[in-house]
A and B are shown apart, each in its own frame.
Chain A
Amino acid sequence: DAGVIQSPRHEVTEMGQEVTLRCKPISGHNSLFWYRQTMMRGLELLIYFNNNVPIDDSGMPEDRFSAKMPNASFSTLKIQPSEPRDSAVYFCASGTDGEQYFGPGTRLTVT
């Protein structure tokens, strides 16, 4: 298996622009997670899906963030409009409970 796949790996955008991050989980994993990692706040869970259904989005910072999972093999995290404080590494992971497998991450820089 190729593991969790994320795209793009790097994204540089200007404040106010829309950003869409993409994720393909490991086949057969029913749960998908979006995390954000920064030096200041560490690794934070933003939202997770179980069987394509959003279960807990309490970590989503604000309404500018939205996530979808239209099918078992694809999820998106969208930021609109983006702000400089959104600059971080965004990880997608799939797995179950304490055993999660992370993708390589998307390093987002908002200028």
Chain B
Amino acid sequence: EVQLVEAGGGVVQPGGSLRLSCAASGFTFDNYVMHWVRQAPGKGLEWVSLISGDGGNTYYADSVKGRFTISRDNSRNSKNSLFLQMHSLTTEDTALYFCARADGSGWYLDYWGQGTLVTVSS
């Protein structure tokens, strides 16, 4: 069974940093592109970033480029993990952050975690 479990959310002050993680299981992790998608309270979905299976290619939404870094650890010892390092956070970054897997073709997100909440507030 495919499982994605996010962690690392919390309350952080404006200008602060936070590192999110996503533990993946039930599939061959390094065969799949992984994404982060966020949802501000009461708002719609916003795509944040994606990383290729081998970690060699990354893409970011304009709203987070230069502040967020996506990475992954495909080693068996890491328990197959996806990360999102976030810097220079603003109140606009307050959201539920979902980790999601792209299907084999890469065209859509076939499995999602339940999300981890990031609140940026003074």
Answer whether A and B are interacting partners: no
